[in-house]
Amino acid sequence: MAFNFELLAKDPSGARYGRIETDHGMIETPIFMPVGTQGTVKSLAQEDLRDIGAEIILANTYHIHLRPGEQLLAEAGGIHRFMAWDRPVLTDSGGYQVFSLADLNKITDEGVEFKSHIDGSKRFLTPESVVDIQLDIGSDIMMVLDQCVEYPCSEEDARKAVKRTTDWAKRSLEAYGPRIVRNDYERVLFAIVQGSVYPGLRERSARELVELDFPGYAIGGLSVGEPKEDLYGMAALAASFLPEDKPRYLMGVGFPEDIVEAVARGIDMFDCVMPTRNARNGTVFTSRGRVILKNAANTRDFGPLDPDCDCYVCRTYSRAYLRHLFMAGEMLGPRLASYHSLYFYLHLVRQMRQVIREGNFTEWREEFYAKYGNTLKNN
């Protein structure tokens, strides 16, 4: 089987239902990808991910490159074997972390020089080397190196970043092509649309990358501090210049409502640390909005976390018990909260697939907000 995307249904709203095939299995879209930064989704085991119906996970190239190093994963036979996860894996290029976490030394047309945030060692990444690293990691879907810009960013700087992103995408393709078979399975390369909040630059970035004909496209540089209307607007705009028959991935987004809104604008794939990071602090997402577990109101609440949720945590444990775990600083708290919140996200995308197929996305969206609470300020 080779990588393939099929658009199976489109709701009048523009929301899409589709299917991605990879050599490690099928993914239905819209999909949310739990983030397994260092080869583990924090606090969860791989069997938990299977239980909650995770179809694909994301791993961070930057983190794995620094520790334990892609060479170790290659020796293990790739990330699937290393972490005992037999479903698809997507890796980012590491660019975002270099720009946000590392001590950035220098960015040139050649690549990016930075210092590791772990040991201060000097590193250099190029469009070619990040593909090399991802090939060693062994992900099914790889990202090209792109130049991320901060928000706010001048149009001039954003223009330069778009140009460099296109140049780097070309170099990645020239070095490896869009599809590479290694260790008996295919890996594909996605390009990343940049352009900050400038419509003209987003259009230009999308058009230039579409010209290069990648198997899929990501939209990057959003959810970095811009207003919600820019997040949704830029996602919609970028999507409008992307081919119908390729998957569209909005990187690093976001809150449940952001995902609903982006799906309404034709986006297929998502990842975010939000559900797991918040869960570790005791804030969980439910069908009735966010719940802060440590709140005193939960002390004697012997009912489930989310009465509309049928996940293992909601079927088994009470809010009072979950609150106790967080108050007592017990590791089981973050684990159960992460399990539930990821289940909530995955259940959310599964629900959306269903209503898109039925052509009822818009009605469903209203019902969702009626229950969840409309937290959108700019929508």
Using CB under 8 A, list all residues that contact a copy of itself: 38-40, 42-47, 67-68, 72, 75-77, 81-84, 299-300, 302, 312, 316-318, 320-321, 324-325, 327-328, 330-332, 334-336
Q: Cβ of residue 232: shortest distance to a copy of itself, in angstroms?
A: 34
Pick 120 or 329: Cβ nearer a copy of itself = 329
Pick 40 or 362: Cβ nearer a copy of itself = 40
Q: Cβ of residue 69: shortest distance to a copy of itself, in angstroms?
A: 10
> Strand 122-125 to strand 112-115: parallel, antiparallel, or no bridges (unpaired)?
antiparallel
Q: Cβ of residue 259: shortest distance to a copy of itself, in angstroms?
A: 25
Q: Cβ of residue 331: shortest distance to a copy of itself, in angstroms?
A: 4
Pick 69 or 359: Cβ nearer a copy of itself = 69
Query: Is the Cα torsion angle 195, 91, 170, 5 positive or negative in sign?
Result: negative
Q: CA-CA distance, 62 to 137, in Å (whole number)?
A: 11
Residue 90 backbone phi and psi in degrees, to 5:
-115, 140
Pick 101 or 327: Cβ nearer a copy of itself = 327
Q: Cβ of residue 97: shortest distance to a copy of itself, in angstroms?
A: 15
**Cα 122 off chain centre by:** 28
Q: Provide the annotated active-site residues.
A: 92, 271
Pick 210 or 320: Cβ nearer a copy of itself = 320
